[in-house]
Amino acid sequence: MPVSKKILWSGLGWVLGGPIGAIVGFSLANMADQATEPDYYTSYRGPRKNLKDYPRTRGGDFAISLLVLLAHVMKADEKMLKSELTYVKEFMTRHFRAENARDLMVVFKDILKQEYPIQAVCRQIMNEMDHAARLELIHGLFGLAHADGQLHPKEDDAIRRICGYIGVSPADFDSMRAMYVQEATGAYTILEVDPAATDDQVKRAYRKMAAKFHPDKVAHLGNEFGTLAEEKFKAVNDAYGKIKKERGIK
């Protein structure tokens, strides 16, 4: 099978069932018909092992979930611009390589044509995806929604509602939003700490966020998603560096 198929077939697990499976089933079936080595498709369809044996979310599960949620967010402002598809393609190419991006865009265009119950989709994600990967999903949604330099209020609201549906806290929503939307106290918001906090409280907040958003938390998704995770981790470090400089913290 071509390398471009691996991110889809070797990493597909729980998304093949439930509402997400229904949304992407037709597109994935067409790709499976074109595959030369279908073992990638069948290898993870068997019974799940004990949850302690391996992380529940694989790279393919994450990529497909991101596309389904992204389509919902993009349609929130009731506009569908060609430039938005260009942004999505560039994002996918930057993070998942060109050969993977081509297949992902085929799936994405099929998803965009459909209407689906977002709460049911989010319920499946909540039940099957580990928390660190869910945080990464929201970060990815913000990155794509803000790709044109602005975050439409309806897109912002859609991401906020998705957070509620998949169990991402309001504080984490605000933290990742502040990585893209510039505000006077944005560095503190990213660290989830009050601007009136003591230096020691800021240090503790930084350590907590650095641990929560560390790229190692989503290493099980595969190397394709490393750059995305590193962006979030860098934003945390940059926020702390800014506060340290302002306060003269050593």
Domain ranges of the chain: 3-247
pLDDT of residue 55: 53
Residue 167, by phi and psi: left (phi above 0), alpha (psi -120 to 50) or beta? Answer: left
**Is 89:21 a contact under the CB 8 Å cutoff?**
no
pLDDT of residue 72: 95
Q: What is the pLDDT of residues 105-135, one digit of tens each?
A: 888 989 999 999 999 999 999 999 999 999 9
Quote the CA–CA distance of 191 and 187 in Å, as a whole number: 7
pLDDT of residue 237: 96
Nearest to 69 by CA among 101, 112, 103, 26: 112
- 50: confidence class by pLDDT, cuts 50, 70, 90: very low
Quote the CA–CA distance of 189 and 234 in Å, as a whole number: 15
* pLDDT mean over 181-204: 94
pLDDT of residue 10: 61
235's tokens: 């934003």
CA 44 to chain CA centroid, nearest Å = 22
pTM: 0.85
- 203: confidence class by pLDDT, cuts 50, 70, 90: very high
Start-to-end CA span in the chain (Å): 53
Residue that is written with structure tokens 């909540």 in the block: 126
Q: What is the pLDDT of residues 149-191, one digit of tens each?
A: 778 899 999 999 999 999 999 999 999 999 999 888 999 999 9
Q: Residue 33 pLDDT > 90, yes or no?
A: no
221, with CB counted inside 10 A (0-12, 13-18, 19+), is buried
Instruction: Count the residues in the chain.
Output: 250
